Amino acid sequence: MQPFKFGSTTTITKKPTQNYITPHTLSIEGDFDGDGEKEKMVSFVSDSTGKAVTHLPYGEEWSETLDYVFGNGITTKLYIEGKKSDTIKLGTSMGVYCLINLGDLNKDEKDEIVFVIDNPDYSSVNTGRIYSLGNGKWSEIKTFGVHEEAFSTENEKTVVFKEIRGFLEQHKGKWLYADYADEGYTMYPPPEQMKPLRVPSCKK
């Protein structure tokens, strides 16, 4: 059986002499700049030289992977293909667990996005980050706590999450969310215990 990292949504490929994690290359479409046309947003994982990273070593100890990530300056960014819009730089990370188009939540004629970074650490506590594009610059307009258990899967194929179970779900056409940091949070609450997702407009 191939090794499986708790909370990971990355594809794990077994090699004859070494195991690897393949970071997701995720993409979504939407009208992020409000020009009335759809754009394509993609995630890109690279090393300190800017070269694309397609495999990360998966050692017997998780510390081996972390040492490689930090030692080689592995980072992630999100950008719109063919546009000069500001890039979202995610810093040291192994990609993103999810990248979701939320639609136009704040009625500014632009689609908002949410993503969760695949942090190179030992914690399963993470953050959902909602961004909006205003005047060519991406701004973080809301965050909420998540637990990486929501992304757990033993399916070796790439999993593309369209919602975050128990933390960000669509019900009857409306986005609802729950914050893991809230006191009394219970994993996978029913819709009636989740809150309507409302976000402000990004700063111009």
pLDDT in tens, the chain (204 residues): 333 233 333 333 334 345 888 887 899 999 999 999 999 999 999 999 999 999 998 878 899 999 999 999 999 999 999 988 889 999 999 999 999 999 999 999 999 999 999 999 999 999 999 999 998 899 999 999 999 999 987 765 668 899 999 999 999 999 999 999 999 999 999 999 999 999 998 765
pLDDT at residue 83 in the model: 86
Burial class (CB in 10 A: 0-12, 13-18, 19+), 41: buried
CB neighbourhood size of 118 (10 A):
27
Q: At 6, give phi and psi (nearest 5°).
A: -55, 130
pLDDT the model gives residue 204: 53
What pLDDT sits at residue 155? 62
Cβ partners under 8 Å of residue 20, min gap 6:
12, 13, 55, 56, 57, 58
Query: Is 85 in a helix, a strand, or coil?
Result: coil
CA dihedral 12, 42, 105, 131 (to 10 degrees): 90
Counted residue by residue, the chain has a size of 204
β-bridge pairing 88-92 and 75-80: antiparallel
CB within 8 Å of 108: residues ≥ 6 apart: 34, 132, 134, 201, 202
Residues forming a β-bridge with 27: 42
Q: Are the beta carbons of 53 and 59 closer than 8 angstroms?
A: no
SS3 content of the chain, % helix, strand, coil (to 5): 10, 40, 50
